[in-house]
Structure 1
Amino acid sequence: MGVQSTVASLWRYPVKSCRGESLERVVVEPWGVAQDRRWMVVDPAGTMVTARELNRLLVVHPTLTDDGLRLTAPGAPAVDVPVPDPAGQVPIAIWSSRLTAADAGDGAAAWLTEVLGRDVRLVHLDDPRRRPTSPTYSEPDDRVSLADGYPLLLTTAASAEAVSVAAGALVPMHRYRPNLVVEGTQAWAEDSWRRFRIGDVTFRVVKGCARCVMTTMEPDHDAGSVARGPEPTRTLARLRRFGKGVWFGVNVIPDHPLPAGATIAVGDPVEVLEAVEPGTRPIGS
């Protein structure tokens, strides 16, 4: 009998592109992990700002509170940001999505502008039902919060180890910014999965993930700095170049209907329900 695949770790990112948090248990909602990427930094025109161009976002540490959010960063006093009134909607842009979110106010904007050295504001997506996923790889009623494109990103420990071995140095999993990490698989097994179940939640694998420069950034949360290097992009270009991109991890969507309050936890078994031939290229590559 083969080794049982299980959930190795779970991650949530309260503010898009900022520091994430590792959790033992999460609630899964139709648009992803509860409270994952419901806040986002934007420029004065409402367009998303990410760590791709503003690396220092990675050292901003958001913590969820009963009333909203607490933001901390090295060298700056903490600031508490209440959940804004959803009546105060402003237009925002994230990739090809055009929707509205609630502006978090001048206090949060001033704090982030000082810490980041750029004129920015903070917004909160009060209702993720306003943002559909990409229709090319999903169903008409699929929704997503402020993640790049899909509700959750899944990676596997074996695939991350394969990259580190090929690179000759450890590339830590947090660089890939997953929500769900699975252990007990072969490297790249996730490329062939199409549906899998954890507890009461069934997930669809809808698209592989083409990786960007953010995987090459290593934040020093004590110093408040971000170092950049060639890995894992250099190694992925040798191992995982398909078309114009390099690929690591898969995007997944919870199946409908989703049980209310459905949770998954570290250590839960992962049951693959549908898969294609191993060695298949990631969907979309």
Structure 2
Amino acid sequence: MNELYLSEINIYPIKSLGGFRVQKAQIEERGLQYDRRWMLVDEECIFITQRKYFELSQLQVNIAEGRLTVSHKTDLDQHISFDLNEQTGENIIVKIWDDVAVGLEVSKQVSDWFSNFMKMKVKLVKMPLDEKRLVDPKYALNEEIVSFADGYPCLIIGQSSLNALNKKLEEKILMDRFRPNFVFTGGEPHIEDRFGTFNLGEITFTAVKPCARCVLITINQQTGIKSKEPLKTLATYRTINKKIMFGQNLVHKGSGEISVGDELNIVSWKEGN
């Protein structure tokens, strides 16, 4: 078998907005540092995503010199920046799927900027350091916690998996449709389905659940335009229990730095493989 190497590390600071790629990153208890630590909520304090609001795909997030900047991908006049530690101090109970968690509104000014962009009233909230949102106990190994991500600290996809999909598509798509934290090279398509436990540096990861995909992957992250693909094609060969699967959700043990180029050292494979 080919050796497996980490080829991309992607961080998405604000849930469902554009992320950025780094060469190295810190893994913390909730996952990658800064990943999904902020989230937009509506007037009922329910999370909002690209699934319904395609325009979120056009907002790019970057972090530099202790500040987070949000800018429109094509309209450069639309942008806002704030300190990473900025927050009002007021607890807001927010809902993500079936989970209830605590968020702290960043500021009224920031919420108003997003409200103007969305043409609806929203707030940008940050997860407080002491918030303990648990991973689904059906898949957790040691009461792991998670950020405002859908359910798990990290997501991994093999480059071979995307390459195989693109061979079936009339128009090739980019990996950013699937919003993985980690991409790796080597191995056959969907070898990540067979991962049990593996190490990246000093950190141990376990693949606990395939990632079920939704309409979000049909949104072109460069243009915000929605189509039928790649869900339509994936449905022909990646359906398990009536759900379309692509990538693996991870939990982990330990903290520290990982870098592009690190080898994935497989400790165990899933039973039956």
Would you say same fold, with TM above 0.5? yes
| Distance (Å, rounded) in 1 between the aligned partners of 2:193 and 2:167 | 19
Deviations along 1:96-127, whole A, 9 cap, x unmatched? 11111111121111111111222211000022
Distance apart, 1:208 and its partner CA: 0.4
1:163-206 deviation per Cα after TM superposition (whole angstroms, max 9, x unaligned):
11122431211111000001111111111111001111110111
Distance 1:117 1:268 in 2: 43
* C-alpha distance in structure 2 between counterparts of 1:128 and 1:148, whole Å: 19
| Offset at residue 235 of structure 1 (A) | 1.1
How many Å separate the matches in 2 of 1:242 and 1:88? 42
Letter in 2 for 1:199: G
Deviation at 1:45, TM superposition (A): 1.6
The equivalent residue for 1:151 is: 153
| CA drift at 1:87 | 2.9
* Cα distance in structure 2, aligned partners of 1:217 and 1:170: 13
Name the counterpart of 1:99.
101
Report the alpha carbon displacement of residue 86 of structure 1 after superposing the two structures with TM: 6.5
Task: Report if aligned partners of 2:211, 2:245 keep a CA contact under 8 Å in 1.
Answer: yes
Partner-residue secondary structure (3-state), 2:138: helix
- State how 1:22-61 maps to structure 2 within 5 Å: 22-61=21-60
Measured in 2, the distance between the counterparts of 1:86 and 1:265 equals 34
Q: Distance in 2 between matches of 1:230 and 1:52?
A: 13
Cα deviations by residue, 1:260-283 (Å, 9 ceiling, x for unpaired):
xx11111111111100367x7xxx
Does the 8 Å CA contact 1:27/1:34 hold for their aligned counterparts? yes
Distance (Å, rounded) in 1 between the aligned partners of 2:55 and 2:191? 34
Is the contact between residue 86 and residue 126 of structure 1 (CA under 8 Å) also seen in structure 2? no
Q: Is the 8 A contact 1:71 1:79 kept in 2?
A: yes
Among residues 169, 172, 185, which one is paired with 2:171 in the alignment? Answer: 169
Picking from 102, 105, 110, the partner of 1:108 is 110
Write the distance in 1 (CA, Å) between the matches of 2:210 and 2:163.
18
Cα distance 1:87–1:113, how it changes in 2: closer, same or farther (>3 A)? closer
Aligned 8 A contact 2:158 2:247 in 1: yes
- Taking the aligned partners of 1:86 and 1:25, their CA distance within structure 2 comes to 31
Alignment partners' CA distance in 1, 2:224 and 2:172: 17
Whichever residue aligns with residue 98 of structure 2, its letter is S
- Report 1:98-247 matches (<5 A): 98-127=100-129, 129-220=131-222, 225-247=223-245
| Shift, 1:84, TM fit | 3.1
Structure 2 residue runs of 5 or longer lacking an equivalent are none
Corresponding residue SS for 1:48: coil
- Whether contact under 8 Å (1:86, 1:101) holds in the other structure is no
Greater Cα offset, 60-69 or 178-187: 60-69
Match of 2:247 in 1: 249
Is the 1:156–1:181 Cα contact (8 Å) retained in structure 2? yes
Q: Is the 8 A contact 1:101 1:125 kept in 2?
A: yes
The count of residues paired between Structure 1 and Structure 2 equals 270
In the alignment, which residue of structure 2 is the partner of 1:283?
none
Q: Cα RMSD between the aligned structures?
A: 1.6
**Residues in 2 aligned to 1:57 and 1:77: alpha-carbon distance in whole angstroms:** 13
User: Does 1:266 find its partner at 2:260?
Assistant: yes
Deviating more after overlay: 84-93 vs 268-277: 84-93
The one-letter code sitting in structure 2 at the alignment partner of 1:99 is: A
Is 1:31–1:128's contact at 8 Å kept on the other side of the alignment?
no
Contact 2:102 2:128 in 1 (8 A): no
CA–CA distance in 1 between the matches of 2:189 and 2:15? 28
| DSSP 3-state at the match of 2:110 | helix
* 1:5–1:17 Cα change, 3 Å: same
What percentage of aligned pairs have identical amino acids?
27
Find the aligned partners of 1:28 and 1:158 in 2 and give their Cα distance.
25
Identify the residue that residue 80 of structure 2 maps to in structure 1. Answer: 79
